Amino acid sequence: MTPPAAQPANAPQDDLQWIATFLDAQAADLGAARNTLLAYGRDLKDVASWLGHKNRAFGSASRDDIEAYLIACDAEGLARATRARRLSAIKQIYRFAFDEGWRSDNPAIQIKGPGRQKALPKTLEVIEVDRLLDAARQSGRNLSDRLRNTCMMELLYATGMRVSELVGLPVAAARGDPRMLLVLGKGGKERMVPLSPPARDALAAWLTTRDTAEEAAVAKGAAPSRFLFPSRGKSGHLTRHRFYLLIKEFAVAGGLPPEAVSPHTLRHAFATHLLTNGADLRAIQALLGHADIATTEIYTHVLDAQLSELVLEHHPLARRDTGSDQPLQQDDDGPTE
């Protein structure tokens, strides 16, 4: 068993202090997104709790301790992606601790994780997207709700934005009938995304209604909102959770299974439909705001599946032209009818 390392005098003495200092640095130095910080915090608190029950802490844990924690996560039945994410958080905090001189070693540096399954993203056919957009146009308590719903769905499909980017859009970005929107993505990185004519029309219609309602609210003493989709909630804008529920409502109204539709599904549809129609993978990477082209390449698998299906359905060698539409059957001696 690897002995625990001695903790330098300058290291925080409490695991929660380790986590808090680490998260502060991630936010200040790397501009980590709030959701990323929340995920790191949850995972690292789970690690700290497990270590505490073993009379260990971040400052004294060994490689064997960390591997034992990962084995316990596996025994608990946690998904491979969850275990990989927790190991990533552990590696990040120990890399930070080593750089800060809190530890003279990095006990997690050589631990290999379970990896992540490369599941193909769930997407939608063009006709299914059309049904969602039609449902959004007709869903809402009043005209204002319907215009807002239409605008959000048109923008989401036209740009491939993440839902957090969509609901947090500042109204200033939408002024002046823009052909492109400036989007603030993960890590504070900005990118430009073009707007389709339907999205621009929906945006203009919503802005007129939004501004009228805003003027009436300000006249009554309310503070003006800086968001394109304002809300009276704590965030000041429509929340991700609220939009998640809305898109489920649109799915039901459009005759689609709600479990197959989410804001991220529409992002996948945006990328898949662009690729299917000949868009360059690097251009799609820039539009989606992916830091690594490898993240975008998963969409090529969707295209590969579509191309394979196309060949099987339409290539003359995939069928025997005998007046029958039955495909060839394979046996031990070769293809037969």
Q: Could you give the residue ranges of the DSSP H alpha helices within the chain?
A: 15-29, 34-53, 63-75, 80-100, 126-138, 143-159, 163-167, 197-219, 240-253, 263-276, 281-288, 293-296, 298-314
**Residue 314 pLDDT:** 59
pLDDT recorded at residue 248: 94
Identify the active-site residue in 146, 267, 268, 273.
267
Q: Catalytic annotation on 264? A: yes
Residues 33-43: b if buried by 16+ CB within 10 A, e if exposed? beebeebbbeb
Using alpha carbons only, what angle is made at residue 160 by residues 156 and 163, rounded to the nearest 5 degrees? 60
Q: Contact 146/138 with Cβ under 8 angstroms?
A: yes
Residue 267 annotated as catalytic = yes
Q: Is 299 exposed, middle or buried (0-12, 13-18, 19+ CB in 10 A)?
A: buried
Q: What is the pLDDT of residue 312?
A: 59
pLDDT of residue 285: 85
* Residue 337 confidence (pLDDT): 35
Catalytic status, residue 122: no
Q: Is 290 a catalytic residue?
A: yes
What span, in angstroms and rounded, lies between the C-alpha atoms of 269 and 277? 12
Question: What integer pLDDT is reported at residue 2 of this predicted model?
Answer: 47
Catalytic residue among 91, 95, 242, 264: 264
Tokens 């500042």 appear where? 170
**Cα(219)–Cα(316) distance, rounded to whole angstroms?**
70
Give the span between the Cα atoms of 312 and 79, in whole angstroms: 35
State the Cα–Cα distance between residues 306 and 127, nearest whole angstrom: 16
pLDDT at 322: 41
Q: Can you tell me the distance from the alpha carbon of 206 to that of 334, in angstroms, rounded to the nearest whole number?
A: 62
Question: What CA–CA distance (Å, rounded) separates 210 from 199?
Answer: 16
Task: Establish whether 162 is a catalytic residue.
Answer: yes
| Predicted pLDDT of residue 119 | 61
Q: Which of 91, 186, 191, 240 is catalytic?
A: 186
pLDDT at 229: 96
How far is residue 121's CA from residue 190's CA, in Å, rounded to a whole number? 24
Count of alpha carbons within 13 angstroms of residue 40, beta-carbon side: 24
Q: Going residue by residue through the chain, which has 337 residues, state the pLDDT in tens, using 9 for 90 and above.
A: 444 454 554 556 689 999 999 999 888 776 667 788 888 999 999 999 999 999 999 999 999 999 999 999 988 988 888 888 999 999 999 999 999 999 999 999 988 877 655 566 678 899 999 999 999 999 999 999 999 999 999 999 999 999 999 999 999 999 988 999 999 888 788 899 999 999 999 999 999 999 999 999 999 998 999 999 999 888 899 999 999 999 999 999 999 999 889 998 898 889 888 888 888 888 888 888 887 777 777 777 666 655 555 555 656 665 544 444 444 343 343 333 3
* Catalytic residue selected from 162, 210, 237, 268: 162
Given this model, what pLDDT does residue 158 score?
92
Provide DSSP, 176-203. T--SEEEEE-GGG-EEEEE--HHHHHHH
Q: What is the pLDDT of residue 114?
A: 75
Give the number of other Cβ atoms within 10 Å of residue 225's Cβ. Answer: 19
